[in-house]
């Protein structure tokens, strides 16, 4: 029996920091625009590793007897974020990237902050969980800082629309099966941000508002960057006139 997991203990914080630090380091070392072949090898390796890790996670659940109607289908938002991320790693494109970007930062990050794990590092459950979730965030940040992919104003309604589509699919499955994908039927038994929200179904409205707000927040840096660049361009044009 391993050491029980401690929320925001040293291994937890290290996993969080690594998820954000590793993609910046990888982008600096690989330099995708200068060495596109090395970038492709890295992206494909990362995509394959994430796929194998997801399979390993399912095998772990099966081996521990935890696999059931509530987790054997890819109907959690992190599952959809994984699909969007892996597709973008194999074939970079705007449509799947922007979904991976918003779902990773607005959804998967919450899963990493309040993880559903029982034991500390180096338990296999800890490793698979944080490679699964941290890999999504790290991949999205690498695609952003390494390849220069980014969301645009039109990305916001598309991401919101797909998120509502996901909620509709997960909610319908929950209603038919009694499962709790997307935490749409009840709060989970482990600590999450939902604990400070109203009871069901009122917390769903709060989640919607938080999702809309987080989409705007995670687009904000690009909005500010575009404004500053436009301002510099106007100043430069005036100076040349």
In sequence order, what are the residues at sequence separation of 6 or more whose Cβ sits closer than 8 angstroms to the Cβ of residue 51?
86
207 close to 107: Cβ distance less than 8 angstroms:
no
pLDDT over 80 (residue 241): no
Give the model's pLDDT for residue 213. Answer: 93
* Mean pLDDT confidence for 6-22: 93
Give the model's pLDDT for residue 193. Answer: 87
Query: What angle, rounded to 10 degrees, do the helices at 94-103 and 155-177 form?
Result: 60
Give the model's pLDDT for residue 239. Answer: 67
Q: Over the stretch 120-171, which tens digit does the pLDDT of each residue have? A: 898 999 999 999 999 999 999 999 999 999 999 999 999 999 999 999 999 9
Average model confidence (pLDDT) across the chain: 92
pLDDT over 90 (residue 18): yes
For a pLDDT cut of 90, what percent of the chain falls above it? Answer: 76
Domain boundaries, the chain: 10-240
Backbone torsions φ then ψ of 172, nearest 5 degrees: -65, -45
Q: How far apart are CA 142 and CA 138, in angstroms?
A: 6
Q: Over the stretch 171-187, which tens digit does the pLDDT of each residue have? A: 999 999 999 999 999 99
């Amino acid at each position: 029996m391993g050491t029980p997991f401690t929320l925001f203990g040293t291994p937890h914080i290290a996993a969080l920091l690594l998820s954000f630090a590793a993609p910046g380091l990888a982008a600096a070392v690989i330099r995708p625009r200068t060495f596109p072949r090395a970038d492709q090898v890295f992206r494909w390796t990362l995509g394959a590793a994430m796929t194998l890790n997801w399979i390993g996670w399912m095998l772990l659940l099966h081996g521990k007897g935890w696999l059931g109607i509530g987790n054997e289908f890819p109907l959690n938002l992190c599952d959809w974020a994984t699909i969007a991320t892996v597709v973008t790693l194999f074939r970079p494109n705007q449509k799947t990237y922007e979904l991976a970007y918003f779902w990773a930062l607005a959804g998967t990050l919450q899963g990493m902050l309040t993880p559903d794990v029982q034991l500390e590092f180096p338990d296999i459950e800890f490793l698979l969980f944080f490679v699964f979730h941290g890999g999504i965030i790290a991949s999205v940040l690498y695609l952003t800082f390494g390849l220069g992919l980014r969301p645009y104003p039109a990305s916001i309604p598309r991401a919101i629309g797909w998120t509502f589509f996901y909620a509709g699919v997960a909610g319908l499955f929950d209603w038919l099966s009694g499962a709790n994908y997307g935490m749409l039927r009840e709060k989970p038994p482990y600590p999450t941000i939902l604990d400070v929200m109203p009871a069901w179904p009122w917390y769903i409205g709060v989640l919607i508002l938080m999702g809309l707000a987080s989409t705007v927040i995670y687009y904000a840096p690009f909005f500010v960057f575009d404004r500053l660049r436009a301002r510099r361009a106007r100043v430069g044009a005036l100076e040349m006139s």
